[in-house]
Amino acid sequence: MASVAVYDILFTPRSPVPAGGEALSAVVDVRGSSEVRLLLETREPDEALTWSVMFGPTHAGRLVPTASGGFGSSVQVIVVPTFGPRMLLAVRNSAALDTWVDGNYYFVKG
């Protein structure tokens, strides 16, 4: 089988992340990949903003966090091994002010 590159939008530009809330990506089918590359961007570096990459499903049908971090800079480049056929990204905002996030993903199947 030939390799196929997959590149798509994870969060639409300027997806809102409300104060005390979170933004969730759609669940992405990453079956056949060994790693996923993510590119996230926000307004400015913000320690109150964190991201978490989840894979699954587990035996209980859940997606579980496998990598997480903060926005020490306004752009985050993340490479994570694939731990299941489905992936979800959560961005959480523990600040008192609303903000936004956008991002893309890339992986190779096959």
Question: Would you say residue 110 has pLDDT above 90?
Answer: no
Q: What percent of the chain is predicted at pLDDT more than 90?
A: 97
HEC assignment per residue over 8-75 = EEEEEEEEEECCCCEEECCCEECCCCCEEEEEEEECCCEEEEEEEEEEECCCCCCCEEEEEEEECCCE
Evaluate if residue 96 carries a pLDDT over 80.
Answer: yes
Q: Give the span between the Cα atoms of 16 and 107, in whole angstroms.
A: 25
- Domains, in order of start, for the chain: 9-109 (2.60.120.680)
Q: Kindly tell me if the per-residue pLDDT of 104 is higher than 90.
A: yes
Average pLDDT of the chain? 96
pLDDT, tens only, 22-70: 999 999 999 999 999 999 999 999 999 999 999 999 999 999 999 999 9
Which of the four pLDDT bands, split at 50, 70 and 90, describes residue 81?
A: very high
Q: Which residues pair with 26 in a beta bridge?
A: none
Residue 45: how many other CB atoms lie within 10 Å: 12
**What is the value of pTM for the model shown?**
0.94
Give yes or no for a contact between 72 and 45, defined as CB atoms under 8 angstroms apart.
Answer: yes
